[in-house]
Structure 1
Amino acid sequence: MTRIGMIVPSSNTALEPATMRLIADRPDITVHFTRIPVRAITLTAGGAAFDVETMLAAARLLADANVDCIAWNGTAGSWLGVEYDRQVCAAITQETGIAATTSTFAILQACHDFGVEALACATPYTGDVVEAISQEYAHHGLDFVGHTEWELTDNASFAAQPDSAIADLLVSAVESGSGSSAAQAVALICTNVDGTTVLNEVEDRLGIPVIDSIAATLWWALELTGTDARIPGAGLLLEQGPLRHRAKALVTELRERTGCDRTTVRIDEPTLGLRVDLCAAESRAQGVRSIQHDPSLDQRALETVRWLEEHRQTLVQPTFAEPPHPPQALRDVYGVSAQVLGPVERDGELTAWFSAHSIAERPWTDDDVAAMTHAQQAMTALLKDQ
């Protein structure tokens, strides 16, 4: 049994029922709540007690329930700054010995694992709060390419909006964007607006993930306890997030071990909505262009992928002088001059493959190939659990 403790804003009426609905079919999880005073959301913090001692007092009560993780289920760190959340979590863990996290950490982690850099932002807050959030998120590699807000300050009023208004808020945040960068996800930043009831509808309409604060906080708290965090039917984050989180760790480790410029993994997993025409995870060296959200190529039709299908072994290419040749776009658009591809099989089918890209031609060492083999084996084990 996993017990999650959550610190809740006192005027919040959305997150508790939403969280309990999400875990309704999970008898292995219980969630326990306590509250701190929060009545209004403004940059002056009037009507809210976000100080560390108030958080500690709430955490001590949750610790009495022997919870496995304590989550501050509020997004104040999004405008107060991530350093504020770090201080709160460090103080809670030092005081109670229990791992701690926050809604803001969960949102940022979800963006990291889904490879999101261009983000649309939907909130009930006022424009100055949204501007502060935008500035803070920019420090973490996230560019707001669109945003919509209700311009409200009274926290209790946030939860009074109907599902249709929440769906419209999310769609409007994406459609408000301008310029060359399309939103790769939309974040609903507030735990007193329940986006969990419209996640599937909005994601089907927009074709991108909705990172709902309530769902994200539950997901990340479960991940921190080592509990299966997948909840089918509750949006892309709770559906794909557990696998993407582990895939991100694998491509990051592969790039670090090989010293290459970019690593990716593509996965065909229909039950999760994953297809190989988009990367499930990517890791890049600084200044290297992302390929993760480019769906322009039919991956199964590529000469290199057909080679993997036929041979089912690691393809090592120090140069591209000999066949099988990669697509011209990989060379011309993304500047790749050498690569290693590692196939992953399940039930006799080529269901995934890793790519390690180098901008310069290079010899791939036995250690590089061993790192690729490790990644392939780890992904094989992960996919067996799906």
Structure 2
Amino acid sequence: MYRIGMLTPSSNTCLEPVTAALLHGSGLASAHFARVPVTRIALDDGSVAQFDAEPMLAAARLLRDAEADVIAWNGTSGSWLGPDRDRALCAAITAETGIPATTSTLALLDACAAYGVTRLGLALPYTKDVADRIAATYTAEGVECLVAEPLGIDDNASFARVPPERVARQIKAAAQDTHAVAVVCTNVHGAHLAAGLEEALHLPVLDSVTATLWKTLDLVGAAPALPGWGTLLRTGSLRARLQEAVRELLAATGADRTTLRLDVPEHGLHVDLTAAEALRPGVRPIRRDASLDQRRLNTVEWLERHRTPLVQPHFQAAPHPPQALVDGYGVHAQLLGPVVRGEAMTGWLSVHSLHERAWTDGDRTALAAATARVHSALDTSS
């Protein structure tokens, strides 16, 4: 089993029992905790000083003695002090201990990237000025925020005493016209609510404690697929690897958009919505457009018959793509590659260009490499 080291705010009484519950029976890892002094959340200098690096480095050195495989700052201070501060802390922890590191804020941002979240609802226990700073921080990272009315609390120990039904009401209030909701605080009991609220809201609910555990397991290669706690622990690592595959395909081809569509119902994936998407700046996303019956498209039926990449430097010859792809998204050339699992075409990768272009051998090689990465991710998650 892996050993996960958690740097824990001293007044936090939530994350340790919740992390133990999340891991119970998984056989993946054991969690080990070292506390650092944190009692109040505000924007004044005294509160900010609680998150200086040196106390955390001292605690990280103790976790090194326990031979932790990964270390996480299990606190969300980077959400108002800025993720660059967390990135610097992680670099310092690794330099000091030789152990990879992450934080709750970086984990939440990685979860948003894995699920393509660019509009996030925030459920926060903090005062309004802290909540406003958090929204501005996430917006600067490319994630627009809708903030439910914050609870107005600054005493860290009090966060854990917020009743679950109040947390649930706040999550529901933050779920208006968003791609996901995040409970941003590791001393609020949101983890147990996630699965039920996801079913009701049809949105991922990203609890900070759950996200931190997910990212630590992901960093050590455990690829968690834990049922009962919401989508992130069940499919987050698969989603992250699929997203990485299309992002690398975009970089390798210099295309304008790359997407992946898959039918894997056990992971909530269906081809009418993309499983992953990467875009050049300014290119319109297609991720949440479910207006077309994808299996009935001419190009997809061609893929189903031939089970080989479809190379289209232009759309002058059959099979013709849907006119909506041209008129609505400006695509004028594409490269499609089937993902065949056993006897079934489970899905396909798409490489889009907004201009006609001759696809090269290098582009085809990049498509083959991305297809192999998708297979690897699916094999790991099964």
Fold shared by both chains (TM-score > 0.5): yes
What is the distance in 1 between the residues matched to 2:157 and 2:96? 31
Structure 2 residue identity aligned to 1:283 = A
Q: Which amino acid aligns with 2:330?
A: G
SS at match of 1:276: coil
Residues 1:270 and 2:265 are matched in the alignment: yes
**TM-score normalized by the length of structure 1:** 0.95
Show CA shifts across 1:344-373 (max 9, x none): 111211112100000001111111111111
Residues 258-337 of structure 1: pairs in structure 2 closer than 5 A: 258-337=253-332
- Counterpart for residue 162 of structure 1: 163
- Which residue of 210, 217, 222 corresponds with 1:215? 210
Matched, 1:171 2:172: yes
SS at match of 2:217: helix
Indicate the residue corresponding to 1:179 in structure 2.
Answer: none
Instruction: Give the SS at the match of 2:285.
Output: coil
Report SS of the residue matched to 1:211: strand
Report the AA paired with residue 377 of structure 1: A
Mapping for residues 330-345 of structure 1, pairs under 5 Å: 330-345=325-340
The residue number in structure 1 matching 2:70 is: 69
Answer whether contact 2:19 2:210 (CA < 8 A) is retained.
yes
Whole-angstrom CA distance in 1 between matches of 2:148 and 2:358: 46
Which stretch shows the higher mean deviation, 138-147 or 256-265? 138-147
Aligned pairs for 1:35-54 (under 5 A) are 35-44=35-44, 46=46, 49-54=50-55
The question of 1:25 aligning with 2:20 is answered: no
Within the candidate set 361, 378, 382, 1:383 is matched to: 378
Shift of 1:46: 4.0
Give the whole-Å Cα distance in 2 for the aligned partners of 1:215 and 1:363.
Answer: 45
Partner deviation per Cα, 1:154-197 (whole Å, 9 max, x = no partner): 1111111222222111111123xxxxxx3111111100112111
Gaps of at least 5 residues in structure 2 are none
Please report how far the alpha carbon of residue 70 of structure 1 lies from its aligned counterpart in structure 2 after TM superposition: 0.8
Q: Is residue 90 of structure 2 the alignment partner of residue 89 of structure 1?
A: yes
Residue pair 1:346, 1:383 contacting (<8 A) in 2 also:
no
> C-alpha distance in 2, partners of 1:16/1:146?
27
1:207 partner letter: H
Q: Is 1:191 equivalent to 2:186 in the alignment?
A: yes
* 2:4 maps to amino acid: I
Matched, 1:100 2:95: no
Q: 2:126 matched to which residue of 1?
A: 125
Distance 1:163 1:311 in 2: 53
Whichever residue aligns with residue 293 of structure 1, its letter is R
Number of matched pairs: 380
Q: Is the 8 A contact 2:11 2:39 kept in 1?
A: yes
Aligned to 2:353: 358
Identify if the C-alpha distance between structure 1 residues 286 and 141 changes in structure 2 by more than 3 Å, giving closer, same or farther: same
1:148 CA drift (Å): 3.1
Residue 236 of structure 1 aligns with which residue? 231
Is the 8 Å Cα contact of residues 258 and 350 (structure 2) preserved in structure 1?
yes
Amino acid at match of 1:351: T
Instruction: Supply the distance in 1 between the matched residues of 2:356 and 2:148 (Cα, whole angstroms).
Output: 42
Offset of residue 330 of structure 1: 1.0
Deviation at 1:56, TM superposition (A): 1.1
Distance 1:379 1:89 in 2: 29
Aligned equivalents of 1:42, 1:146: Cα separation in 2: 17
Contact in 1 for aligned 2:131/2:147 (Cα 8 Å): no
CA apart distance, 1:45: 5.4
CA–CA distance in structure 2, aligned partners of residues 317 and 127 of structure 1:
52
Query: How far has the Cα of 1:254 moved from its partner?
Result: 0.8
Counterpart code for 2:283 = V
Measure, in 2, the Cα distance between the counterparts of 1:37 and 1:377: 46
Q: Structure 1 stretch 231-240 or stretch 210-219: which is displaced more? A: 231-240
Per-residue deviation at 1:15? Answer: 0.9
Instruction: Calculate the aligned-residue CA RMSD, in Å.
Output: 1.4
The whole-number CA distance in structure 1 between the counterparts of 2:53 and 2:82 is: 14
Q: Which residue identity does 1:139 align to in structure 2?
A: A
| Deviation per residue, 1:193-237 (Å, 9 max, x gap) | 121111111111211111111111011111111222221222111
Contact 1:146/1:174 (8 A) holds in 2: no
The equivalent residue for 1:139 is 140
Q: What amino acid does structure 2 have at the position aligned with 1:83? A: D
**Secondary structure at 1:319 match in 2:** coil
CA deviations over 1:310-354 (Å, ceiling 9, x no partner): 221111111111122211211111111110111111121111210
Using the TM superposition, give the Cα deviation of residue 378 of structure 1 relative to its aligned residue in structure 2, in angstroms: 2.3
Structure 1 contact 166–195 (Cα < 8 Å) conserved: yes
Output the CA distance in 1 between the equivalents of 2:283 and 2:202: 25
- Identity, in percent, stands at 51
Q: Structure 1 residues 146, 309: CA separation in 2 closer, same or farther (over 3 Å shift)?
A: farther
Q: Following TM superposition, by how much is the alpha carbon of 1:380 offset from its aligned partner in structure 2, in angstroms?
A: 2.1
Please list every run of 5 or more consecutive structure 1 residues that lacks an aligned counterpart in the other structure: 176-181
1:146 Cα offset (Å): 4.1
| 1:242-297 residue CA offsets vs partner (Å, 9 max, x unmatched) | 11111111111111111110001111111111111111111111111111122222
The residue matched to 2:187 in structure 1 has which SS?
Answer: coil
State whether residues 148 and 170 of structure 2, in contact with CA within 8 Å, keep that contact through their aligned partners in structure 1. Answer: no
1:11 CA drift (Å): 1.1
Partner SS for 2:191: coil
1:255 to 243, 250, 254: 250
In 1, Cα distance between the equivalents of 2:165 and 2:174?
Answer: 14
Is the contact made by 2:148 and 2:174 (CA closer than 8 Å) also made in structure 1?
A: yes
Residues 135 and 147 in structure 2, CA contact (< 8 A), matched pair in contact too: no
